[in-house]
């Protein structure tokens, strides 16, 4: 079974069988680095997918930018292919700048949970990246919290949705983003993050228990846990939230 088979078995796809067969045929070809770079500069999406998952190394900033440019703004299979291959590449070879970090943060907020999980695995295996992502992740978290303030009442015991419909798309999307940003924070070095207590104080008040659960998970990793926040979450009404602080 070649690498395309491995990827194809786990990727979520609605592609028809003819396209899938064409992609499989392409996957039997032998791609060198020059071939991969050329294909990624062209417009054949199926060839791009196969080229990406056969990438064996990243050796310079051009290659870093080229592969990361396909993590966002592409169809779902291409984005997932990039996220799939990231953790197989040597993280020390990635040449990251501010734009690259912003792209990785966008990958954390992808609509496809598989992309998000793969990107988080990549981050979790790269200590340098963990440190470099603190600033952009915290910045984005604060932006999402600011956007969510339009939909919530901060004077309520748990932040309540002020929209008449609990299915409000904008609010749900922001909550989804916040969930994954908090999960990302939990794998960073939380003790290096300034003003983290301010963020956790806000997220500890959310009506959505999954947000409070992620808040408790982050708190459990802090060396100096704010006593008031610790007491509050240890006494949360939800067992999953409390369980994060049992250790």
**Are residues 102 and 152 located together in one domain of the fold?**
no
**Looking at the 3D structure of the chain, how many domains does it have?**
2
Average pLDDT of each block of 10 consecutive residues along the chain (247 residues)? 50 47 48 85 85 87 91 91 88 84 95 94 89 95 92 61 59 93 97 95 93 96 95 95 88
Q: Using DSSP, state whether 226 is helix, strand or coil.
A: coil
Of 56, 79, 110, the one marking the end of a domain is: 110
User: What's the DSSP call for residue 237?
Assistant: S
pTM: 0.82
**Are residues 159 and 81 located together in one domain of the fold?**
no
**Are residues 137 and 225 located together in one domain of the fold?**
yes
- For residue 95, the model assigns a pLDDT of 82
**Are residues 51 and 151 located together in one domain of the fold?**
no
**Are residues 62 and 6 located together in one domain of the fold?**
yes
How many Å apart are CA 235 and CA 246, to the nearest integer? 11
How many Å apart are CA 165 and CA 171, to the nearest integer? 10
* Contact yes or no for 50/20 (Cβ under 8 A): no
First and final C-alpha spacing in the chain: 43
**Are residues 7 and 104 located together in one domain of the fold?**
yes
Please check whether residue 245 lies inside any domain of the structure. yes
Residue 36: closest CA among 63, 9, 18, 74: 63
- For residue 91, the model assigns a pLDDT of 73
**Are residues 152 and 226 located together in one domain of the fold?**
yes
Q: Map tokens 């770079």 to a residue.
A: 37
Of 46, 76, 110, the one marking the end of a domain is: 110
Q: What are phi and psi of 130, to 5 degrees?
A: -55, -45
**Are residues 5 and 99 located together in one domain of the fold?**
yes
**Are residues 144 and 104 located together in one domain of the fold?**
no
Please check whether residue 122 lies inside any domain of the structure. no
User: What's the DSSP call for residue 190?
Assistant: G
- For residue 67, the model assigns a pLDDT of 92
**Are residues 76 and 17 located together in one domain of the fold?**
yes
- For residue 29, the model assigns a pLDDT of 56
- For residue 224, the model assigns a pLDDT of 93
Please check whether residue 47 lies inside any domain of the structure. yes
Q: Using DSSP, state whether 159 is helix, strand or coil.
A: strand
- For residue 57, the model assigns a pLDDT of 85
**Are residues 143 and 88 located together in one domain of the fold?**
no
User: Given its phi and psi angles, is residue 73 left (phi above 0), alpha (psi -120 to 50 degrees) or beta?
Assistant: left
- For residue 157, the model assigns a pLDDT of 54
Please check whether residue 163 lies inside any domain of the structure. yes
Please check whether residue 60 lies inside any domain of the structure. yes
Of 43, 78, 110, the one marking the end of a domain is: 110
Please check whether residue 210 lies inside any domain of the structure. yes
How many Å apart are CA 175 and CA 187, to the nearest integer? 19
How many Å apart are CA 171 and CA 223, to the nearest integer? 32
Please check whether residue 80 lies inside any domain of the structure. yes
**Are residues 82 and 7 located together in one domain of the fold?**
yes
Query: How many CB atoms are located within 10 Å of the residue 95 CB?
Result: 13
* Contact yes or no for 106/160 (Cβ under 8 A): no
E strand or H helix at 160, and its extent?
strand 160-161
Please check whether residue 21 lies inside any domain of the structure. yes
Domain encompassing residue 246: 133-247
């Amino acid at each position: 079974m070649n690498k395309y088979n491995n990827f194809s078995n786990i990727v979520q796809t609605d592609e028809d069988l003819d396209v899938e067969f064409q992609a499989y045929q392409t996957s039997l070809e032998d791609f060198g680095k020059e071939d991969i770079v050329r294909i990624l500069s062209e417009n054949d999406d199926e060839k791009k997918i196969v080229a990406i998952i056969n990438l064996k190394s990243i050796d310079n900033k051009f290659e870093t930018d080229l592969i990361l440019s396909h993590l966002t703004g592409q169809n779902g299979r291409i984005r997932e292919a990039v996220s799939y291959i990231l953790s197989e590449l040597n993280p020390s070879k990635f040449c990251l700048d501010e734009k690259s970090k912003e792209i990785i943060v966008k990958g954390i907020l992808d609509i496809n949970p598989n992309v998000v999980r793969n990107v988080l695995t990549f981050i979790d295996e790269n200590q340098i990246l963990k440190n470099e992502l603190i600033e952009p992740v915290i910045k984005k978290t604060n932006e999402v919290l600011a956007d969510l303030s339009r939909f919530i009442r901060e004077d309520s015991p748990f932040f309540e949705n002020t929209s008449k419909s609990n299915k409000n798309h904008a609010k749900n999307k922001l909550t989804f983003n916040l969930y994954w940003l908090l999960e990302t924070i939990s794998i960073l070095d939380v003790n290096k993050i300034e003003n983290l207590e301010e963020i956790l104080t806000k997220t500890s008040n959310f009506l959505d228990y999954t947000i409070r659960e992620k808040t408790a998970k982050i708190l459990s990793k802090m060396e100096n846990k704010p006593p008031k926040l610790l007491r509050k979450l240890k006494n949360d009404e939800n067992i999953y939230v409390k369980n994060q602080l049992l250790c």
